[in-house]
Amino acid sequence: MGAVLAGPDLYVRGAVEVAGGRVARIGAAGARSAVFAIPGLRNAHVHLDLSGVRGVPRATRGFAAWVVEMMRRRGPFDPAALQRGAALGVAEALATGTTSVGDIDSSGAAACVVAASGLGGVSFREVLGARDDAAWRTEVGRWLAGFDGFAPSARLRPGLSPHAPYSTRPSLYRMCDELGEGGVDGRRLRRTTHIAETHAEAALFRGEENELLELLRSVGAEVPFVPAAPAMSPIEWLEDLGSLSSEMALAHANHPAAGDVERVAESGATVVYCPRSHAFFEHSRHPVREYLDAGVPVALGTDSRASNASLSMFDELAYLRAARPDLRPAELLRMATEAGAAFLDGAPGRLDVGQPADLVLVESRTGLPDDLDEALEAVVSGTVSVIATLVSGVVCHLSGRAVGGPLPLTDALPELCSAACGRPRSGPAPAEGGSRPSLAPLPDAAERGPDLESR
């Protein structure tokens, strides 16, 4: 390893030394190669269980028509198929330098797969549709209990995702807030929701007929939305409901109304911007600059493979670097690391001493960067290749091959890993807990109502 990009503001020649799954030291070392370490990337909004649903055409007939086609291609609810999709997504995420995810678990079946992979972050159990509140409370309680079966080494935390205002009753939002504030093991549960995603959603708040209402009726789903006030925006509605808080991530937030950016800033909520999915749906220019200037934490996500060509956060960065020159390289890296890490992991998302060793070894195709500016440009412009992805100091992906879960560094792995991590080849420190999470039982398909599946 030739250097370390510890964060958006620090680049040094040297190597990362890891002990007990954490960064022990950033030591001096000669520049032996074009390989350098960067913080693990955080994909703050992704639907891993839809990773097998690919090639859905661009939404030329509108968002609702795209949802119908995506659901047709996904097929009937099948927990095993959703787990297979999640496994595909996990492999792609690790191969492209992601160490934590904000994954939307539409069925409750994906969390065990994600946890077993070693990925950190939050699995958000999605809540929506026809089942009554009591049934949902039972379902969510059973799902949360499943996390007790995961190995102590599992980094994945549970969270809740009331899907969107057009598909989720206000009482279910309140239930998610109540359960979230009650927490698990003394820790509150993060929440996320799709909000202000389309102009049709805003039309709901004006009491207008639109494609989303037609979609809900076409699949026999309940139409839960009743506007509290004709002029209220989706984000204002969320605030009025009491759900806009620092525990909430707003997925997309593409179309804020007047005053909404300030509302989000005052609440402490995080916005998750999915650049290439945003472009896929041909939305108008995202107000990411306005959110950042107002002090809103903005993280990045990929959304699903149904609306994106890959789950690579490097691809998101490269797209943004080309499409949004108003965003500086340091800002882009901060969105892909620190902002996501703060919300998903409660961690700085930097390679600082004492922090979890969530890192990516990358090789620059133009040689080792000479300084901070060159390092940032290499990372955000797509001129690096992933050599290895480590979560808590454990190699989860190595040079084009999936390791297959959280495995400690061993002599069976190439010299690159032990040298790059500053570990001797004898006696590597195992991951805390030492074993993989166990798989939780699948939910019974018969228990589900006619829910509108998310993307």
Model pLDDT, residue 185: 75
Residue 350 lies in a domain: no
pLDDT at 445 over 60: no
| Whether 14 contacts 411, CB under 8 Å | no
pLDDT at 52 over 90: no
Domain end, chosen from 311, 344, 377, is at 344
CA angle 145, 151, 152 (to 5 degrees): 100
Same domain, yes or no, for 333 and 392?
no
Model pLDDT, residue 58: 72
pLDDT at 154 over 70: yes
Same domain, yes or no, for 94 and 19?
no
Most confident of 14-23, 38-47, 163-172: 38-47
Model pLDDT, residue 149: 84
Model pLDDT, residue 425: 25
Domain end, chosen from 318, 344, 370, is at 344
Residue 448 lies in a domain: no
The range of the structural domain enclosing residue 161 comes to 41-344
Same domain, yes or no, for 232 and 292?
yes
Span 277-321, pLDDT tens digits: 999 999 999 999 999 999 999 999 999 998 999 999 999 999 999
Model pLDDT, residue 110: 94
CATH number of the CATH domain containing 166: 3.20.20.140
pLDDT at 453 over 90: no
Same domain, yes or no, for 52 and 163?
yes
Same domain, yes or no, for 158 and 284?
yes
Q: How far, in Å, CA of 341 to CA of 336, rounded?
A: 9
Same domain, yes or no, for 22 and 141?
no
Span 237-249, pLDDT tens digits: 999 999 999 999 9
Same domain, yes or no, for 21 and 45?
no
Same domain, yes or no, for 30 and 50?
no
CATH number of the CATH domain containing 362: 2.30.40
Residue 272 lies in a domain: yes
Section 433-453 average pLDDT: 34
Same domain, yes or no, for 19 and 88?
no
Same domain, yes or no, for 153 and 278?
yes
Most confident of 71-85, 214-228, 347-361, 429-443: 347-361
pLDDT at 49 over 70: yes
Residue with tokens 């995420």: 93
Residue 393 lies in a domain: yes
Residue 122 lies in a domain: yes
Residue 446 lies in a domain: no
Domain end, chosen from 317, 344, 371, is at 344
Q: How confident is the model at residue 258 (pLDDT cuts 50, 70, 90)?
A: very high
Residue 450 lies in a domain: no
Residue 433 lies in a domain: no
Q: What is the mean pLDDT of the chain?
A: 84
Same domain, yes or no, for 359 and 322?
no
Q: How confident is the model at residue 255 (pLDDT cuts 50, 70, 90)?
A: very high
Number of domains in the chain: 2
Same domain, yes or no, for 274 and 370?
no
pLDDT at 414 over 50: no
